[in-house]
Chains A and B, each alone.
Chain A
Amino acid sequence: MNSLLYDTYTIFWRELKRYRKSRSGVLIRLIQPAIWIIVIGNTFSGTQPLIQSVGFEGQYIEFMAPGVIILTAIFTSIFGGVNTLWDRRYGFMNKALTSPISRSSIALGKMSAISLISALQASLILGIALAIGVNFPNPLMIAPIMAIVILFSLGFSGISVIVAATAKSQETFWGVINFLGMPLFMLSPALFPLELLPDWLATIAKFNPVTYTVLLVREMMTGVTEGGISALLSIGIILAFVLVMIGLASYVFTREVNKPF
């Protein structure tokens, strides 16, 4: 156990070092969510009555800002595993695989690094949201919000690591990731309340961990509980999702890297 933590930290350290050296990418990756929040947030400001009809008293942009924070987390973490493919191609993976560290710790180290990076990106989007005037009554909630984003991203980075370990090429990876990312975002109350979705879509959304994360973060930012889903239930579901992803990612990663690349 001790050595699993140490090895996970080793990989985590390496991933963060690499990230630190590729800072130019940080801003580029912020452009898309910034456009979401600025363009969509303002374009749909006329939908305020719709939002109010489900009990949300505020600007549309305040409703959707938490959604865009989660959007940032989704995409940062689901793209994050792609360097697994590079590592396998350029030999770092073989170096790690022929050292005494366990295979699981490679997957977990990558996931924890991705989730921290994801939280950093999300916090920048939160900053943008505040800068353009999103009302945030309780700044003390920033820490727990970031904790939820880290947790959520840990689960989502598991998806990325699984796809990267299974895919043999960049093309496959991006194909699958794009197939997964956008629907998971859209099938959640990130942009519109669940109540406004057709029943069948709302039912599907209830199986989506993104849904609970958005509801939870929005509750933390605005204090509004939607759809009768309590914060405790959301936290429970997010935790369960993360635990399942940790287990699944370790298992799939270990199985896949033992095959020739």
Chain B
Amino acid sequence: MYSVETRSLSKSFGTVNAVNDVSFTVKAGEIFGFLGPNGAGKSTTIMILTTLLKPTSGHALVSGYDVMTHPKQVRQSIGYVQQESTVDEYLTGRENLLLQARLNHIPKDQIKKKIDDILELIELSDKQNDPVITYSGGMRKRLDIAGGLLHQPKVLFLDEPTVGLDIQTRRKIWEYIKKIHKEFQMTIFLTTHYMEEADQLCDRIGIIDNGKIQVIDTPENMKNAMGNEIISLTFENENSEDFLSQLSQIDLIKKINKDNDKFTLFVSSGTEVIPKIFQISVALGIKITSISLTRPTLDDVFISYTGREIRDDDTGFNRKREHAKMKRLRA
């Protein structure tokens, strides 16, 4: 049985297909990363999986239960840590966890021990009786995560767990995520913008764009599929069509991304390819202005599947979310 399974899942808002015929599976105990640019359909998918939205068509199963027909059972099996901090600022850390315990029907006689244990795990025991309004962003996030896993859900959804945190805190949160995964062995479904985060944490990654799954694989395989090395080159823009077609005949080049006067070549042996590039450019009279050779990162994988780097949020739904986020940041 899969922890999360979608079959031809679709969701449209008016004429916008936020999620379009998406099928994937997540195995029990896996950390699955869901990546995509803004407006790609990540949030919509996670909202369907957590029973907040009903799909337009298709099926989604979480922990074996259909989100449409058995939402209550799904809710009993999941923990959901939202992108925005949802802890009550005026309550203390402990009161927030108590609220979470009650919301999730943890039996009364276990509540105290579970809260004590989790506070220890996230290292907030000494601050537990302070109002959350005095907590830093990182502490709030830890408390948020603690709330999501207090009832030991079978599947934990983490929506952008480290967005807006500094790099030290981010690394610390990664440690906590690894720690809780080791301790509780639950399935973790996380969305992120940060490739490094996905690389660090995830067993497998799915990249979604324009509401469709572009690729699902392990981070290692994805990077390897990109070729061993990346050559970026810029040139004065003439005859780029000829240049492109001749370059693509070189066997060692696996893939070429073109962006005006900039090419990104994914190659298996950069040192052999570079002289060939120069031979071609000289023959065509193209003047190369810069060239560099790097190892691929997950960023490159991401860009190769999702193309352009910056995305306008074109769904009203996402605009609202962003709007809410901005309001929160300004507050």
Contact = CB atoms under 8 A, between A and B. Distances in A.
A232 to B, nearest CB: 39
B86 A17 contact: no
Given A14-B99, A90-B328, A260-B53, A98 B90 contact: no
Contact of A89 (B50, B95, B103, B327): B327
B171 interface: no
B9 to A, nearest CB: 16
A98 B52 contact: yes
Interface string B264-277: 00000000000000
B82 interface: yes
Given A100-B72, A100-B76, A261-B320, A17 B52 contact: no
B170 interface: no
Contacts of B26: none
Contacts of B80: 94-95, 98
B90 A18 contact: yes
A30 to B, nearest CB: 21
A108 to B, nearest CB: 15
Interface residues of A, number: 25
Given A91-B86, A95-B86, A98-B75, A17 B95 contact: yes
Contacts of B53: 260
A92 B103 contact: no
A6 B111 CA distance: 15
Contact of B52 (A7, A13, A92, A97): A97
A3 interface: yes
Contacts of A98: 50-52, 75, 78, 80
B82 A13 contact: no
A227 to B, nearest CB: 45
A101 B72 CA distance: 8
Contacts, number: 75
Contacts of B86: 90-92, 94-95
Contact of B84 (A21, A91, A260): A91
Nearest to A19: B90
B178 interface: no
A14 B49 CA distance: 26
Chain B binding surface SS class = mixed
Q: State which size class the interface on B falls in.
A: 20 to 34
Nearest to B151: A99
The 7 A-B residue pairs whose C-beta atoms are closest, nearest first, are A21-B90, A91-B86, A99-B103, A10-B102, A98-B80, A91-B84, A98-B50
A21 B133 CA distance: 11
A24 B306 CA distance: 51
A10 B84 CA distance: 22
10 contacts: A6-B102, A13-B102, A90-B328, A91-B84, A92-B88, A94-B86, A95-B86, A95-B100, A96-B103, A261-B320
Contacts of A91: 82, 84-86
A138 interface: no
Interface in B31-85: 47, 50-54, 72, 75-76, 78, 80, 82, 84-85
A52 B84 CA distance: 60
Nearest to A96: B103
A99 B75 contact: yes
Nearest to A97: B52
B46 to A, nearest CB: 10
Contact of A90 (B72, B84, B320): B84
Contacts of B324: 89-90
A7 B104 CA distance: 9
B91 interface: yes
Nearest to B95: A17
Contacts of A97: 51-52
A49 B252 CA distance: 104
A18 B103 contact: no
Interface in A221-261: 258, 260-261
Contacts of A10: 99, 102-103
B64 to A, nearest CB: 16
A3 B105 contact: yes
